[in-house]
Homo-oligomer: A and B are copies of this chain.
């Protein structure tokens, strides 16, 4: 009987621990992957939408390359209006019945709604990032910061990494290719290649710039994880200064 009680108590404790293990950064990891997948779904359905709509009005599909813009245009304007805008009198597209265009328009609505959700999730991510790790976000921006946490697995793990690991997060494939056969050069940066400052320095200094960024991100992650005060301003001033020196 005592054993039974002990078992129940142990289960209660584990349940509580599991509940507590969900933190802000766990949600951030989910949101980042969610945004990625919304983008994938939107692209998949946009391609189908274009192929389908091109039977009806190929000229407009060719003229608008952005998927979201395209879905918005075709659902807000008629074929005639769209062709007038392009000054085309004799379209190559077929005339379709209303029920056939309706099916296409329903798909266009869905594509629009997926893009809209993606934007709202991005805003939610921005708010969470600023709250959970203001210092990292100050240096990297929302997207790259969130991806770093997602690649590391959690803010806790990111904060425990040395700067050299942070620098190569997202470049695992290139790194191990280098380690296997020494012919390939080691990678200089992983996900950090998306950072705007990297595009501002000269090609031969990109490695140095990535190292500086990783240094500061590593400091910022530690401060964020242990809920230190906000030093994002100083850190981002430092990396920008470095970017100017390395231009």
Contact surface of A with B, Cβ cutoff 8 Å: 12, 15, 18-22, 26-27, 30-31, 33-34, 37-38, 40-41, 44-45, 48, 51-52, 55-56, 90-96, 99-100, 102-103, 106-107, 110, 113-114, 117, 120-121, 124, 127
Q: Is the beta-carbon distance between B34 and A90 smaller than 8 angstroms?
A: no
Docked pose: A90 CA to B26 CA in angstroms: 21
- Closest-CB distance, A181 to chain B (whole angstroms): 34
Q: Is the beta-carbon distance between A103 and B90 smaller than 8 angstroms?
A: no
**Copies of this chain per assembly:** 2
Residues of chain B within 8 A (CB-CB) of A44 are 37, 40-41
Which chain B residue lies CB-closest to A125?
B103
Q: Is the beta-carbon distance between A103 and B20 smaller than 8 angstroms?
A: no
Q: Is the beta-carbon distance between B34 and A107 smaller than 8 angstroms?
A: yes
Docked pose: A113 CA to B26 CA in angstroms: 26
Q: Is the beta-carbon distance between A26 and B55 smaller than 8 angstroms?
A: yes
Q: What are the 4 closest A-B residue pairs judged by CB atoms, nearest first?
A: A22-B94, A41-B41, A30-B52, A19-B94
Q: A38-B45, A48-B33 are in contact. Are A117 and B121 (CB under 8 A)?
A: no
Q: Is the beta-carbon distance between B15 and A94 smaller than 8 angstroms?
A: no
Docked pose: A127 CA to B106 CA in angstroms: 16
Residues of chain B within 8 A (CB-CB) of A127 are 99
- CB < 8 Å: which of B41, B93, B95, B100 contacts A45? B41
12 of the cross-chain contacts (CB-CB < 8 Å) are A12-B90, A15-B91, A19-B94, A20-B94, A22-B55, A22-B93, A30-B48, A37-B44, A37-B48, A38-B110, A41-B114, A106-B121
- Closest-CB distance, A240 to chain B (whole angstroms): 32
Which chain B residue lies CB-closest to A18?
B92
Q: A51-B30, A113-B113 are in contact. Are A15 and B106 (CB under 8 A)?
A: no
